[in-house]
Amino acid sequence: MKKKKINSNNLLLLITIVLFFVMYAAGCIVYADKGFTRFQTFLNILINNAGLICITAGMTCVMLTGGIDISVGSVTALVCMVLADLMENKGVNAYAAVLVALLIGVAFGIVQGFLVSYLEIQPFIVTLAGMFFGRGMTSIISTDMISIKNKTFLAWANYKIYLPIGSYSRRGKFIPAYIYPTVIIAILIFIVIAIIMKYTKFGREVYAIGGNAQSAMMMGLNVKKTKFKAYVLDGLLAGCGGFLFCLNSCSGFVEQAKGLEMDAISASVIGGTLLSGGVGTPFGTVFGVLIKGTISSLITTQGTLSSWWVRIALSALLCFFIVLQSIIGSMKKKN
């Protein structure tokens, strides 16, 4: 009986992992002549989505409680704009600017977490207000794009970490693969969150509350405090993700990271996180992000399709996994 329960909970994760490998293998076969088989192609997926990995880790923590946060895209845009404005217009050094950016994310987490957990306002309404507020504050700072020219920040953004593996050019020259520090930071954050959710009291409380908040309360768990902590953690990770996102773009503008909240939610759901809460892992979420990145890479490599096909494909996958969640939930109730 226990084996059946474990299989049902991990079925979505298994499907996600298999889907990623099938999609990537298909890309390697179809676009082998365009360099898709190079290891650098996979590393580019990680480089381009480092910020999203960080943001989606926080989104997963919130969704495990049965909540949601649709403000993360606006928070990312605000963080990028603040970083650019502080360094370029205010003369603030890069270290202080990054600290302010992280504090912005924490502030969003504290305010939204308080409203959701202690005032018991619907998470969608609270974070919708946060989304509008973040985007509005971004436009108040500047309606024009601000390019970052700070030497320290550009040094961080352009620093390459070369790996001992790579590929050979047509002339036989070895070209080493590389990553940026953003990937290292994203992986470290993912590992920390995975450990927190699996091995700490806070992680166990989050799963218990997501599974059944009423039962968790009867067990003596402080439901409000745990939800509040989840939103604060989500805000901090949104700030970190905004910083990583800014390292990739080296600029701040109003329309930046538009739709990023949908990418984060989609990656979490595709990664096996139930919308109702209680089921999901950061590990699955990373594969959800990799699937999104693979779709984007396939469309870019193809060359003739619009970038909007990434959204279309993600929407189709999101609908598929939501239906799958519903079917699995119905089967559990019958059993």
DSSP 89: T
User: Which residue is it, tokens 């997926």?
Assistant: 45
Q: What is the model's pLDDT at position 6?
A: 47
Q: What is the pLDDT of residues 102-138, one digit of tens each?
A: 999 999 999 999 999 999 999 999 999 999 999 999 9
Indicate whether 2 pLDDT > 50. no
Q: What is the model's pLDDT at position 3?
A: 46
Q: Rounded to 5, what percent of the chain is helix, strand, coil?
A: 75, 5, 20
Indicate whether 4 pLDDT > 70. no
Distance CA 165, CA 168 (A): 10
Bridge partners of residue 174, in order along the sequence: 168
Give helix 181-199 / helix 39-48 axis angle, nearest 10°.
70
Q: What is the model's pLDDT at position 335?
A: 65
Distance CA 77, CA 264 (A): 14
Indicate whether 202 pLDDT > 90. yes
Closest CA to 76 of 92, 96, 57, 52: 52
Q: What is the pLDDT of residues 57-97, one digit of tens each?
A: 999 999 999 999 999 999 999 999 999 999 999 989 999 99
Q: What is the pLDDT of residues 167-198, one digit of tens each?
A: 777 777 888 899 999 999 999 999 999 999 99
Per-residue HEC secondary structure of 224-238 comes to HHHHHHHHHHHHHHH
DSSP assignment of 160-183 equals -EEEEEEEE-TTS-EEEEEE-HHH
* % of residues, the chain, pLDDT over 90: 66
Q: What is the token pair recorded at 84?
A: 């650019």
Q: What is the pLDDT of residues 246-278, one digit of tens each?
A: 999 999 999 999 889 999 999 999 988 888 888
Q: What's the whole-number average pLDDT of the chain? A: 90
Q: What is the model's pLDDT at position 174?
A: 81
Greater confidence (332 vs 26) lies with: 26
> What is the value of pTM for the model shown?
0.91
- Dihedral (CA of 42, 46, 52, 56) sign: positive
Q: Please report which residue ranges of 31-175 form alpha helices under DSSP H.
A: 39-48, 50-64, 72-88, 94-117, 123-141, 151-158
Distance CA 286, CA 218 (A): 33
Bridge partners of residue 166, in order along the sequence: 176
Distance CA 247, CA 180 (A): 10
Distance CA 163, CA 44 (A): 13
Give helix 72-88 / helix 50-64 axis angle, nearest 10°.
140
> For residue 89, how many C-alpha atoms fall within 13 Å in the half-sphere facing its CB?
14
The least confident of 65-79, 287-301, 306-320 is 306-320
**Would strands 174-179 and 251-252 be described as parallel, antiparallel, or unpaired?**
unpaired
